[in-house]
Amino acid sequence: GESVGLHLPTLSVQEGDNSIINCAYSNSASDYFIWYKQESGKGPQFIIDIRSNMDKRQGQRVTVLLNKTVKHLSLQIAATQPGDSAVYFCAETFSGGYNKLIFGAGTRLAVHP
């Protein structure tokens, strides 16, 4: 929807550059940290997750880094493409949470040609 991302921080990058999107979390009991992508007019889509006992996980063109010391999560997108333009949300879940996702703040990624 067009209202998604209106009041969120925006990261503007040039096509082909690498993007880094950051997220701070507060719940040390979370077992998994996840990144979701939400395009205009659509529901969020899963990108990648990382278990709390890991520091880094790589996917296709994406890498998630977890720093538990400072409670910080980041998503790195390599060679950013126009199709990557969207709002990105971090989320948490925990064992026994029955798949409940707790979403954090979002960041709007704008990719310019």
Partner 1 sequence: SAVISQKPSRDICQRGTSLTIQCQVDSQVTMMFWYRQQPGQSLTLIATANQGSEATYESGFVIDKFPISRPNLTFSTLTVSNMSPEDSSIYLCSVPKEGMNTEAFFGQGTRLTVV
Binding-site ranges for partner 1 (CB under 8 A): 1, 3-8, 31-32, 34, 41-46, 49, 89, 91, 93, 95, 98-106
Closest to 88 in 3D by CA, of 107, 110, 104, 60: 107
What are the phi and psi torsion angles at 82 (to 5°)?
A: -55, -35
Q: Using the minimum distance from each CB to partner 1, give the nearer residue, 42 or 56.
A: 42
Q: Using the minimum distance from each CB to partner 1, give the nearer residue, 12 or 95.
A: 95
Q: Which residues of 50-70 are buried (b: 16+ CB within 10 A; e: fewer)?
A: beeeeeeeeeeebbbbbeeee
Question: What CA–CA distance (Å, rounded) separates 84 from 79?
Answer: 10
Q: Using the minimum distance from each CB to partner 1, give the nearer residue, 16 or 100.
A: 100
In angstroms, what is the minimal distance from the CB of 45 to partner 1?
A: 8
